Amino acid sequence: MKRRTQRRLPNFISMSRLALAALFPFSPECLWPWLVIAGGLSDVLDGWLARRWQVQSRMGGMLDAVSDKLFILSALATVAAGGRFSLWWIPLILVRDIVVAATAVYAACSRSWAAFDRMVVRWSGKLATAGQFLLLLAALLLPCSLCMMLWTAALLSSVAAGHYGWILRQALRDRKAAPERDV
């Protein structure tokens, strides 16, 4: 495969998840599980291809993260609006995403973007995303396990929020200490 195609394919797969996010609310309920599976598989595939072909990029990572967040938000809101679970669960399930977004705003406003930029994908974030996809599948296919999956997804999201918050705190502390070392 040509190198040019290898560079573009992971980003194209991430962008396809944006299309799935836009289509999800307008799709019949019988397609929802398939859309969640397609979204989850595309999330795994784009990252795997980028790492395998060594074509990871900052833009690709941002595109992947934004695609994940928009797909999950679209699917959660649609499934909740469909009566599968209450809307009040969504902030609990998205606590990691809310914390990361808040830290991005803080980093940008305090001119600490370099510290935020060091917040690469972590195992806790991957587990939180996996929990969100599994929650959606449970809501659609295994309603008897829904309560357990809601709490699991909320717990994984909270752990990831704490992990990312700790990483940002360390990065900000290192940033403040750096000028003192130079003196």
Mean pLDDT, rounded, for 12-35: 97
Asked whether the beta carbons of 75 and 58 are under 8 A apart, the reply is: no
- So where are the chain's domains? 1-83, 85-176
Give me the mean pLDDT over the 137-150 stretch: 94
pLDDT, one tens digit per residue, over 38-92 is 999 999 999 999 999 999 888 888 899 899 999 999 999 999 999 999 999 999 9
Cβ density class 116-147: b for 16+ within 10 Å, e for less: beebeeeebbebbbebbbbbbbbbbeeeeebe
Q: What are phi and psi of 40, to 5 degrees?
A: -65, -45
Within 10 A of 168 (CB to CB), how many other CB atoms are there? Answer: 21
**What's the whole-model pTM score?**
0.87
